[in-house]
A and B are shown apart, each in its own frame.
Chain A
Amino acid sequence: MKRRKTWIALGLLAVLAIGFAAMAQEPVTIEFWHAMSSRHQENLQVLLDKFAEEYPNITVNAVYQGAYGDLQGKIQAAVVAGNLPTIAQVYENWITSITTLLFPIGDYMSSMEQADIIDGLVPSNTFNGVLTTAPFNKSIMVLYYNKTLIPDPPATWDEFLQIAKDTTADLDGDGVIDRYGAGFRPAANPELFLNLLEQAGGSILNDDWTEVTIDNAAGQAAMEYVEELTPYSYVTGEYMSDHFPQNVAMFVDTSAGYYYNNQAAINGGAEMGVARVPKGPVNQKSMIQGTNLAIFNSGNQTLAQQEAAVLLAKFLIRADNTVFWAIRSGYQPVTKSAYQAQEWLDYVAANPYQVAMSEQMLDGFSQILQPNYGDMRNVIATGFEEVMLEAATASEALTEIADELEMLLE
């Protein structure tokens, strides 16, 4: 009798398994909203074609939605209209207020797959303790410098300041500085300050986001350092490649900008070097930037579509694919195993500037997931710019920033 029951149970399980297998093979179409244009779009399409070969039952309808700002606007509108896609590229702060509409990708990934994601990327993809989104096109901030002018890049804050001083020059003797040692885009890129804050051991908020900590001793050290750099810094809102190497000797910028920065160096008759960012009083971390993949759960997606989207996300971060994407796009691989892949090692060997980028990527940090981060970033950008333009002292700007952040926290 017992044996018979066991056989019946096994039979039922077999029927279920066959049923699931059949379901898995059922055709499913998913919509993937992205902001990848130009070469990035072509390379993404190569990966999607490869995905289609591996999963012939899944059709990915990739929809280019313009630049990041356009994509963000469309996602916001789609939240209200209720027509979110199955999967989309998102920045962390686009989704902090709609976490209930996200499908937790981590529940469908093994612990090994999750552990493979670079440590610095895990916090920014984890909501309520669950890996909810998957990292996709990620870049890291590194130091670019005029190698013709600076044979050895600065390794510490002090060295960076000294070299900035030494390379700031009035080249034609008209009393106006033509070349600055450093270049900053404070309004467009407040991450440059957040790097310094992190390197000084500081943070915008405490761990549970109940208190503003940006104006503590570490924050003061970071902002005072900015103040010290100001006389030797070229401040602009434009791409640094528009001013390198003629107006700027070194600057921190995203690794994804290598191609354009290098073109600028070639045009200016200089050789460009890439190094890790200078080490601060506490560490040598820099910020990881770029988007993640979010799968939506807003009622207009079926479970089959969401599971297919999980397969796509896992496919895109698989070592061979994240390496392919990194080599073709200039972004960085997002998993640890990818950095050990032979193809990547060969690529790094052939492109030595990638050594610094890879090392920096494995020692990066991400933005916080506080829902008001976008506004906080703007506040920090304003204060940072005021100091760089000598419109405020470090302590004035920090007090102002802290006050405004307090308000945003309330």
Chain B
Amino acid sequence: MAEQKDSLDEDIRQLVIERLKAMPSDKKISIGADGSSFTSDQLISHVKEGDEIGKKIIDVQMSYLQALKTGALLDE
């Protein structure tokens, strides 16, 4: 059971990393309470490290996929 969860977590992490690779290099993201801004490469590093910023990025991307699934984005 724990192995299944680890595998799922790893799949999600990889999915998020692939999505972040599509972000253009000239754009930055302002996220977090310390005023930090990140490039896509820096975001990917945080996801790989699994730190607080990385976990938040995964939350954001999973929320998006959930919204796509439920069709909420196209509701009038």
Chains A and B are bound partners: no
